[in-house]
């Protein structure tokens, strides 16, 4: 899991990731907010067009979860704050 402190940093990190074959991942579907190890986490699914591989990329977003931001729609999930 990656630690994210800002949604833009999260996006930048995702853009740096590569498949084992050296190609870039193509994200599929919307991000999903999940609880992983008790932390609010953004989970992305991606495929590799070159080799057909698939991956899940997850970010610990607890550092900024609940702030007014792109995640505002998820702000009513108070269970994340413990």
Least distance (Å) from Zn ion to the CB of residue 42?
22
Number of residues that bind Zn ion (CB under 5 A): 7
Least distance (Å) from Zn ion to the CB of residue 54?
9
Q: Does 66 bind Zn ion (CB under 5 A)?
A: no
* C-beta separation of 34 from 62 below 8 A: no
- Cα-Cα-Cα-Cα dihedral sign, residues 20, 21, 26, 29: negative
Select the span of 8-16, 25-33, 42-50, 58-66 touching Zn ion (CB under 5 A).
42-50
* C-beta separation of 4 from 14 below 8 A: no
DSSP-H helix ranges across 1-82: 7-16
Q: Report the residue from 4, 46, 48, 57 that binds Zn ion according to the rule CB under 5 A.
A: 48
- Residues 31 and 2: their CA atoms lie apart, in Å, by 15
Q: Does 19 bind Zn ion (CB under 5 A)?
A: yes
Judged by the rule CB under 5 A, the positions of this chain that interact with Zn ion are 19, 21, 23, 48, 50-51, 53
């Amino acid at each position: 899991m990656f630690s994210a402190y800002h949604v833009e940093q999260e996006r930048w990190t995702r853009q740096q990731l590569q498949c084992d074959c050296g190609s870039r991942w193509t994200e599929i579907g919307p991000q999903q907010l999940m609880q992983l190890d008790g932390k609010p986490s953004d989970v992305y699914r991606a495929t590799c067009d070159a080799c057909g591989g698939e991956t899940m990329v997850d970010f610990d977003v607890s550092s900024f979860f609940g702030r007014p931001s792109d995640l505002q729609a998820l702000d009513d999930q108070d269970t994340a704050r413990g």
